[in-house]
Amino acid sequence: MVLSSVVASQAAIHARYGGVVPEVAARHHLEAILPVVDTALREAATGWNDLHLVAVTRGPGLPAALLVGLAGAKVIAFARGLPLVGVNHLMGHIYAAVLSDREPDRGIGWPAADELPRPSVALVVSGSHTDLCLLPDEGGVQVLGTTLDDAAGEAFDKVARLLHLGYPGGPELDRMAQRGNPLAVPFPRTTRSLPGPRGERGVGLVAGEFAFSFSGLKTSVAVYLEQHHQADTADVAASFQQVVVDTLVTRTLAAAERSGVRHVIVTGGVSANSSLRSAMDRACREQGYCLHVPPLRYCTDNAAMIAAAGWAHYQRSGADGWDLDVAPGLTLEMDG
């Protein structure tokens, strides 16, 4: 159960540059970290003595920003004599799908070690990742497919920029698309199987079958806008979004069917997208899958999901040492 979740958004700062400047981001992390921890404790009506564990993101991400978090977490854990665990940010996103603001029937306390529905197929769609994976019964993560170029969120952000919408582009484009016709512009969709990253194979599944590619779609939008100066922004947004959503839904459900699971998890910043949420919901209902998506506030980056993944990690493998280091290039498979 989440007692408080405080997010220090840097969106307004990044908007000035049209994206994230690593140095600027790290500086603002440094300024924000202590006030955010203070606010989180106050909102949760807890004190330092009530804490059991310090969980911190160790990767993937920008090294400078990760280092600020890790240093802060080490200081708190050391000063309070608490165990410390490093969390894979992407695993955090997956745990967001089982977060709740209400306590289930078992009374106050922490959840069991791993409340993820297994076996399941999980789609992690964020600003830098599009990972389709299998969470097998026995634990761990097996990546079935990933993006060969742009991540889904990145495609939303880039197309939003082409359409002169604000930053971050995903939510703006989502809003604009609600006023448009998704069938107005027939942007191309990838229906064939894409080459796997390294021809890898999952459990009887060819990884490439579940790979994604969004940069061609983004180029199609750019070309269309160059050729149609009077194009209706809402129609272009809705048509682009429709292709992304169709692709994500189709490939995720194909992976679920091929791996014989009954549970589907959709998470990460793009899982806040209204069209993706309703299309996934509809498709899962029609095909008999149980869908798990985070409440809206836990789709985009937050600390509650890191706490949930950290607690599971701690139950499974215990605490990390003081030599815990950042892992900017961490993948889901390297640390499930």
SS (H, E, C) 38-49: HHHHHHCCCCHH
Binding string, residues 163-192; x marks residues near ligand KG4 by CB under 6 A: -----xxxx--x------------------
Contact flag: residue 268 with ligand KG4 (CB under 6 A): yes
Q: Which stretch binds ligand KG4 (CB under 6 A): 193-201, 209-217, 256-264, 270-278?
A: 270-278
Segment near ligand KG4 (CB under 6 A), from 26-34, 112-120, 250-258, 269-277?
269-277
Q: Which of 91, 94, 130, 156 binds ligand KG4 (CB under 6 A)?
A: 156
SS3 of 75, please?
A: helix
DSSP secondary structure letter of residue 269: G
* 114 binds, options ligand KG4, Zn ion, none, Cβ within 5 to 8 A by partner type: none
Distance CA 259, CA 124 (A): 17
Contact 154, 146 (CB under 8 A): no
Interface with Zn ion (CB under 5 A), residue from 126, 239, 252, 302:
126
User: Which listed option, Zn ion, ligand KG4, none, makes contact with residue 157 (CB within 5 to 8 Å by class)?
Assistant: ligand KG4
Tell me if the bond preceding 60 is cis, omega within 30° of 0. Answer: yes
Element (H, E) at 121: strand 120-125
Is the alpha carbon torsion for 298, 278, 203, 261 positive or negative? positive
In sequence order, which ranges of the chain are alpha helices (DSSP H)?
11-17, 22-43, 63-80, 89-96, 152-162, 169-177, 215-227, 233-259, 274-287, 304-317
Selected binder of ligand KG4 within 69, 180, 196, 269 (CB under 6 A): 269
Adjacent-strand bridge partners of 130? 125
127 is an interface residue for ligand KG4 by CB under 6 A = yes
Return the range that interacts with Zn ion (CB under 5 A); candidates 20-28, 42-50, 71-79, 300-308.
Answer: 300-308
Pick the closer one to ligand KG4 by CB: 160 or 264: 160
Please, which residue, 142 or 274, has the CB nearer to ligand KG4?
274
Burial zone of 108 (CB within 10 Å; 0-12 exposed, 13-18 middle, 19+ buried): exposed
301 binding Zn ion? (CB under 5 A): yes
Q: CA dihedral defined by 253, 1, 58, 35, rounded to 10 degrees?
A: 130
128 touches, from Zn ion, ligand KG4, none (C-beta below 5 to 8 Å by class): ligand KG4
Q: Quick one: tokens of 269?
A: 């910043």
Length of the chain: 336
| Smallest separation (angstroms) from ligand KG4 to the CB of 150 | 10
**With respect to ligand KG4, which residue has the nearer C-beta, 145 or 168?**
168
Site string (276-305) toward ligand KG4, x via CB under 6 A: ------------------------xx----
Q: Which residues, 27 to 46, sit near Zn ion by CB under 5 A? A: none
Residues that bind ligand KG4 (CB under 6 A): 126-128, 153, 156-157, 168-171, 174, 268-270, 272-273, 300-301
